Structure 1
């Protein structure tokens, strides 16, 4: 159930900017709130991790506000909210517990050497910078750009940048590992 909810949220996140662009004229924001709220409820009910529960709670609060106010302008704030949640998760992990990237690395390599721990901390910091940058662009586009620009960035360019960051980090990691 947790994987299905996570996969559905991933697909909804990818489709969201385009759904807003094409649906804003025909669908009430309450419909968006109900659909997103249902997905986040499923995620909340299926996840035992506190970070997932916290993120789901924030997203559900957003859905509630969207449903109550029924204001189409609020639809454009969802990518900003998701970036802020990811920023809080990654940045918070640098101060409390194990950094997010280290947790992911330990899934493949449980006995991560100290150099690997330092490297994963640096990569977590890079992701923090990415979420600051991406969230700032999403905020600026929400406030000042036409809907088409907002859709292009949040539906395509942001994911392209994320993919470049993943690929670039993977290439760097291969070079770092070969030196060890």
Structure 2
């Protein structure tokens, strides 16, 4: 049951920018805030990795502050806080290894060679830069762009960029591993 709740929470938070765009355009700020708090609550009760708890709390916080101050900007700030939270989590793993990308890489390749560990640490640093840039752009869309542009960036473009970075890292790591094997 916890897995189902976790899945619903994750899908809900991924679709969040679209829910915000539609909800705000229809005047449903209250319901969007409640939705965000429920999605955060689902992630909270489903447990999981304690590294992700701050990201879960951001959902509840943004929804609650939006209701408290009757301000939709708090709903739009959620992706900004997510990026900054991810930046903090990824950065923390640089100081308390394994790095975040090494953790992901070991899901596919449990016997990651030493060169792979070095590689994934560098890629984790790249992800840290990405999250800061993403947060700045997302923040810009909160205050200086239309809700439609906010949805396009936070609900599409940022996801595409993350996908490109993830796929690019995987392909380059495999290429690097082949080159290292040829040298040995």
State the alpha-carbon separation in 2 of the partners of residues 90 and 114 from structure 1.
20
Q: Where in structure 2 are the equivalents of 1:91-102 lying within 5 Å? A: 91-102=91-102
Question: CA separation of 1:59/1:161 partners in 2, compared to 1, >3 Å: closer, same or farther?
Answer: same
CA positional deviation for 1:2: 4.1
Residue 11 of structure 2 is matched in structure 1 by 11
* 1:132-179 Cα shifts (integer Å, max 9, x gaps): 111111111112112222121112111111121122112211211212
Q: Where in structure 2 are the equivalents of 1:27-38 lying within 5 Å? A: 27-38=27-38
Unaligned runs of 5+ in 1: none
Residues 101 and 124 in structure 1, CA contact (< 8 A), matched pair in contact too:
yes
State the alpha-carbon separation in 1 of the partners of residues 88 and 5 from structure 2.
21
Question: CA separation of 1:132/1:92 partners in 2, compared to 1, >3 Å: closer, same or farther?
Answer: same
State the alpha-carbon separation in 1 of the partners of residues 145 and 117 from structure 2.
40
TM-score, normalised to structure 2, is 0.87
Q: Secondary structure of 1:111's match?
A: coil
Q: Where in structure 2 are the equivalents of 1:25-64 lying within 5 Å? A: 25-64=25-64
Segments ≥4 residues shifted beyond 6 Å: none
Residues 28 and 72 in structure 1, CA contact (< 8 A), matched pair in contact too:
no
Residue 161 of structure 1 is matched in structure 2 by 161
State the alpha-carbon separation in 1 of the partners of residues 108 and 167 from structure 2.
18
Residues 28 and 70 in structure 1, CA contact (< 8 A), matched pair in contact too:
no
Question: CA separation of 1:141/1:130 partners in 2, compared to 1, >3 Å: closer, same or farther?
Answer: same
CA positional deviation for 1:27: 4.1
State the alpha-carbon separation in 1 of the partners of residues 111 and 171 from structure 2.
22
* 1:50-106 Cα shifts (integer Å, max 9, x gaps): 212232223222222122222122221111111111111111111123211111222
Query: How many residues in Structure 1 have an aligned counterpart in Structure 2?
Result: 180
Residue 104 of structure 2 is matched in structure 1 by 104
Question: CA separation of 1:100/1:164 partners in 2, compared to 1, >3 Å: closer, same or farther?
Answer: same
State the alpha-carbon separation in 2 of the partners of residues 27 and 15 from structure 1.
18
